[in-house]
Amino acid sequence: MKVVTTIREVREQVNAWRQADNSIGLVPTMGFLHEGHQSLMQAAKQDNQKVIVTIFVNPIQFGPSEDLASYPRDLERDKIACEQVGVDLIFCPDASEMYSPNFNSYVDVNELTEALCGKRRPGHFKGVCTVVTKLFNIAQPDRAYFGQKDAQQLAVIKRMVTDLNFNIEIIGCPIVRESDGLAKSSRNSYLSESERVAAVCLYQAIECAKAMIHKGEKSVNVITQAMQELISKQPLAKVDYIEFVDLATLKSVDLLAQDSLCALAVYIGKTRLIDNFIYQHD
């Protein structure tokens, strides 16, 4: 496994692989890797002859009051996680390698970014789309892998790839969870012991919603109210949003009459966690 820090080194390696007719899978990450990231690497390994993992805490997707400075970083630990899966190349650039001092070109996707996290984190998806576009141009992969936990991000990137005619297949991979149901996340490392126990309320709310739907409940208002009530019993938790949206457009829905995404963001103490599930209409 090679670890490189410059765009030139990535391109040289990719050119060599292309000359040998190798297919390439890309897993973009912000590091502090966990089993969820490794599941993306494993999927990339199955589908491609070579796998690139990028580790880059992208400054332009963080708002001024967000956790850019404190975002967890541990490159040595990340290298081990990649080696365990058999990754071929890690690209871990500095911000100065990715953004020149007069950098002034951005990629923005409209509509899909106006709901859910996009509504609450202005500029976030503009930063995500810009860095992902740059990584696609640098690595030139056949396929790129993203987790379903960031469901809005996955939808936005799929739309961007379609709209801008990238010759890249975007593959979404299932959420990986802890034994008690909490979705794996790098930000889980922020949680204290008591907050970690409290955080399972996101998964409990999802299971509550699924049970209600299974019994025939179709009213989004009734389901979200039950989810809110369940989470509100946990004193360390504060709901940012719970929303059901059309899976294709991410527009709000009132009744479950089409394929829908239920997405939620909840503060556990100061840590904002997200989770979701997909409802498929019969």
Q: How far apart are CA 255 and CA 269, in angstroms?
A: 32
Closest C-alpha to 105, from 135, 123, 126: 126
Catalytic residue among 37, 124, 214, 281, which?
37
- 177 DSSP assignment: B
Q: How far apart are CA 151 and CA 260, in angstroms?
A: 11
Closest C-alpha to 147, from 275, 259, 242: 275
Beta strand 237-246 with 260-268 is: antiparallel
Q: How far apart are CA 253 and CA 116, in angstroms?
A: 13
Q: How far apart are CA 169 and CA 190, in angstroms?
A: 33
Closest C-alpha to 263, from 240, 280, 281: 240
Count other C-beta atoms under 10 Å from residue 83's C-beta.
11
The per-residue DSSP string of 91-135 comes to E---HHHHS-TT--------STTSSHHHHHSTTHHHHHHHHHHHH
Which single residue is written with the structure tokens 């909490």? 182
Q: Is 281 a catalytic residue?
A: no
Closest C-alpha to 92, from 218, 7, 33, 179: 7
Closest C-alpha to 92, from 112, 73, 118, 114: 73
Beta strand 89-91 with 143-147 is: unpaired
Q: Catalytic positions, please?
A: 37
